[in-house]
Structure 1
Amino acid sequence: MAETSYDVIVIGGGPGGYVAAIRAAQLGFKTAVVEKKHLGGICLNWGCIPTKALLRSAEIYHYMEHAKDYGLSAEKIGFDIGAVVKRSRGVSQQLNTGVGFLMKKNKIDVIWGSATLTAPGKIKVEAAPDAPKGALGGGDYLGKHIIVATGARPRALPGIEPDKKLIWTYFEAMVPDRMPKSLLVMGSGAIGIEFASFYKTMGADVTVVEVMPQILPVEDEEIAALARKRFEKQGMKILSGAKVTGVTKQADSLTVHVEDSKGAKQDFQVERMISAVGVVGNVDGLGLENLGVKIERGIIVTDGYGRTNVPGVYAIGDVAGAPMLAHKAEHEGVICVETIKGLHTHPMDKAKIPGCTYCTPQIASVGLTEKKARELGRDIRVGRFPFIGNGKAIALGEPEGLVKTIFDKKTGELLGAHLIGAEVTELIQGFVIAMNLETTEEELIHAVFPHPTLSETMHESVLDAYGRVIHT
């Protein structure tokens, strides 16, 4: 059995899984990854990466439509949705190939198929029907440490299940065969809003329905309100505090029945609908219950280091709970493997995990919202700086945006940062680093930010929190 025995077996080749495998190999573990379909997982193949490619096409299309705003001219502007999708799929394929190269480079075995834990330290793999020729596949494998990184799948609501034709998940929304003239998006989290933004920019009539009173429910209220204002200015219809109660399907369209919090009902006739009401962990069919692995509300319970209640069994990424983000999964994988090795590690600090939404305008945040900080009884200082006061934003033609910072009044600790505007998904990491270094307002105030850059809005927001703002 020596040839099928490993120090570490990772079930799932997504961002968390393949990063955990690479780190394990770096630390000298004989390592294997079990993957049934796509190296890189949902994120690389059907999530984070291809959606950004689509959104980039939409961004360029938007600029072309508004060329005159920059003193330019462009005529007969249009798009080929097939070509847009093809580019997106090509980007994913390139990165998928790259992950395969990394597996070979680090001498990690890829076992193609679906794994089930049959006993402590043992898995059975059912071979994938489309596995690469000559690759490892079905059989029994031994692993001293088994890391479950099986990710998540779209949540389906009873009676409104996606059918791949009229009701889409993000899978179908990424590869439309034609651009629908009208679209309803159920759910206004990051996935829902990104698709709403893409389809609206490309010319579809878009309606968003959100059951919570606030769209983008995890974001700061002030930022979410600004986002809603911008979306509605773009022509997007938004109904918050409302729910989809059912659908009536026609041959190539559907009627979506919506009810608000007061019981008022409204019907929307649309060509397509996207269900974006969250995801659920892939815990089924793994044999976890037979081993006694603790699962709560569809999530594998871990201790912050990836360890479950069963020795030798670990879980990372979406299947181990929120926030269900690729960068969280990657970091979790490293923590898990380094803990197995016996290195000095720290548990995942979820308060310092940034979140990004790549709509137009972009949204990014880290740490406590203003409301949450006050609920926790923190005495706070809040700073704000609008993009309209920033030279680079005006030069870019992107003057609508806001940077908001939240500090502990007594200690100067940066508790949270919330941004909306151009390229804020690239700016947020500055605040993430500051929080991880336990930086106070003093260091941020005395830091020199380059001019002219959008990053100066971050500096000014800190200055504003302490009554020292310059450009407003």
Structure 2
Amino acid sequence: MADTYDLVILGSGPGGYVAAIRASQLGLKVAIVERERLGGICLNWGCIPTKALLRTSEIYHYMQNAESYGLKADNVGFDLAKVVDRSRKVAGQLNAGVKGLMKKNKVTVVEGVGTVTAKGKLSVKQGDKTVELLAKNIIVATGARARDLPFAKADGKTIWTYRHAMVPTEMPTKLLVIGSGAIGVEFASFYNDMGADVTIVEMLPRILPVEDEEVSAFMNKALTKQGIKLLTGTGLEGLAPSGGGVTAKIKHKDGKVVEETFSHAIVAIGIVPNTENIGLEALGVETDRGHIKTDGYGRTNVDGIWAIGDVTGAPWLAHKASHEGIIAVEKIAGGSPHQMDKANIPGCTYSRPQVASVGMTEAKAKEAGYELKVGKFPFIGNGKAIALGEAEGFVKTVFDAKTGELLGAHMVGAEVTELIQGYVVARQLETTEAELMETVFAHPTLSEMMHESVLGAYGRSIHY
């Protein structure tokens, strides 16, 4: 006889497991189905282990530049196997933590490959046997996977996806990174700091193309200064293993195709939603280029079937998935949550320097017809940044000149991925420039630049 639940969640990533916990808090009987490891891609193969790697490269960079802090560090080196092992241990620790949370919140974990067989019904294949589950509601939270190049599938040897790039058995000597979104730039930053000769190829006119143009321009200069070769407006016409490495056919802006050999290549050109072969087609669940179509609460067009996270489309971010999960569960439980507002979702890139943003870019705000007031404050004008030896970067704020609404905030520099939340809270509370100007910021902190940027938009900056 099939087990019956109020809610079954297919996928245990940051959307799925957070939704399961909130559902349990609301008194629902919950099961979660996972085919690999609790925590999904983000925790096991994405957000968390990559940050462990980036922390290693950051410290290695500081060690190599110890003299600028009055310190001595001779014969600096690294053990690649230990670097990777630390990253995997961090992921393992958090995976164990999710297991503990499932137990604490009385969420039933069903291991296996799940398929929605009908409204309110799932089958979970566990090796040679199949388990049947019944549920009043089903949330699809199956995430996404790396997109392959159509002419060169990743082989894990010289052509890598992000998963291969996180567990290298050898250090690339000459690395090609295809794509300059957050994932591409983060891996380029890591491997460059660890000593590889790195080239980024980007089809669009600028790197980090979703960010504000001034941020992209700054990052272009910063990464170039670090020794990374940036080829924007450049296509890739071929990629193939060759002589223990990989040969790329790179089409430059002038139309000329040049062959170049690299030791390794990382493909970071986007993701593909995991919506195939889980029963959605038979139920008539509507999709758009593979992504499940939902309303602001996570509901699909089929009653009782919900979807959250990467399977529902951009932005493909863990925190977006988690929030969508909470909204969907609260709606399922009979609550009245606010619909998802994607304009208030922050984006972060954990490279060196870091990039963070929320809301509209200056260009998008102009396109939308707003009259703007824009403030910008440089790291070089901040005492804490200078003391840290991190005086490169800026904070930019974009306001509606008529109402004082904070339309967007854009940062590049040290620790901006931590700072951005201040502006996210401000937007959520519908704060105007008046409240931000009257807020007291602690001194000396990097956050003072947020205040100065707001003041600068209205001609009142004190330190610049």
Q: TM-score, normalized by length of structure 1?
A: 0.97
Find 1:173's aligned residue among 155, 165, 168: 165
Residues 184 and 208 in structure 1, CA contact (< 8 A), matched pair in contact too: yes
- How far apart are the structure 1 equivalents of 2:390 and 2:283? 55
The equivalent of 1:132 in structure 2 is none
Letter in 1 for 2:456: D
Residue in structure 2 matched with residue 204 of structure 1 by the alignment: 196
Give SS of 1:15's match. coil
Q: Which residue of 1 is the match for residue 336 of structure 2? A: 344
Q: 2: distance between equivalents of 1:229 and 1:293?
A: 46
* Superimposed CA distance per residue, residues 415-467 of structure 1 (whole angstroms, 9 cap, x where no aligned partner): 00000000000000000000000000000001000000000000000000000
What residue in structure 1 maps to residue 228 of structure 2?
Answer: 236
CA-based RMSD of the aligned residues comes to: 0.9
- Do 2:452 and 2:462's aligned partners in 1 also have CA atoms closer than 8 Å? yes
Q: What is the aligned partner in structure 1 of residue 175 from structure 2?
A: 183
Separation of aligned partners in 2, 1:112 and 1:138? 11
Cα distance per residue 1:173-214 (max 9 Å; x no partner)? 000011111100000000000000000000000000001001
Aligned ranges for residues 284-433 of structure 1 at < 5 Å? 284-433=276-425
Q: Give the aligned residue type for 1:172.
A: H
Which of 123, 129, 139 aligns to 2:131? It is 139
Q: Check the 8 A contact 2:159/2:241 in 1, yes or no.
A: no
Distance 1:262 1:32 in 2: 56
Structure 2 residue ranges without an equivalent (≥5):
none
Query: For 1:258-269, what aligned pairs fall within 5 Å after superposition?
Result: 258-269=250-261
Shift of 1:261: 3.6
Aligned equivalents of 1:152, 1:248: Cα separation in 2: 25
Runs (4 or more) in structure 1 with deviation over 3 Å come to none
Partner of 1:60: 59
Aligned-partner SS, 1:273: strand
State the partner residue of 1:248: 240
Q: Given that residues 112 and 128 in structure 1 are in contact (C-alpha distance below 8 angstroms), is that contact kept between their aligned partners in structure 2?
A: no
Deviations 1:366-398 (A, max 9, x none): 000000000111111000000000000000000
> Contact between 2:152 and 2:240, CA under 8 Å: does it hold in 1?
no
Q: Secondary structure in 1 aligned to 2:86?
A: helix
Q: Paired residue for 1:435? A: 427
User: How much has 1:86 moved relative to structure 2?
Assistant: 0.2
Structure 1 unpaired stretches of 5+: 130-136
1:133 — aligned with what? none
Contact 1:114 1:128 in 2 (8 A): no
1:111 is matched with which residue? Answer: 110
CA contact (8 A) 1:112 1:138 kept: no
- Describe the superposition over 1:331-358 as per-residue Cα deviations: whole angstroms up to 9, x where unpaired: 0000000001111111100000000000
1:19 aligned partner: 18
Q: Does 1:126 align with 2:125?
A: yes
Residue 97 (structure 2) aligns with = 98
Q: CA deviation at 1:128?
A: 5.3
> In 2, distance between residues paired with 1:248 and 1:320?
33
Count of matched residue positions in the alignment of Structure 1 and Structure 2: 464
The residue type paired with residue 334 of structure 1 is I
Using the TM superposition, give the Cα deviation of residue 310 of structure 1 relative to its aligned residue in structure 2, in angstroms. 0.3
DSSP-derived class of the 1:138 partner: strand
After superposition, where does 1:3-18 map in structure 2 within 5 Å? 4-18=3-17
Is the 8 Å Cα contact of residues 383 and 464 (structure 1) preserved in structure 2?
yes
2:250 aligned counterpart, secondary structure: strand
What is the TM-score with the length of structure 2 in the denominator? Answer: 0.99
How far, CA to CA, are the matches of 2:137 and 2:243 in structure 1?
51
> Does residue 33 of structure 1 match 2:32?
yes
Question: 1:186 and 1:354 mapped to 2: Cα distance?
Answer: 24
Question: CA–CA distance in 2 between the matches of 1:94 and 1:409?
Answer: 48
Question: 3-state SS of the aligned residue for 1:62?
Answer: helix
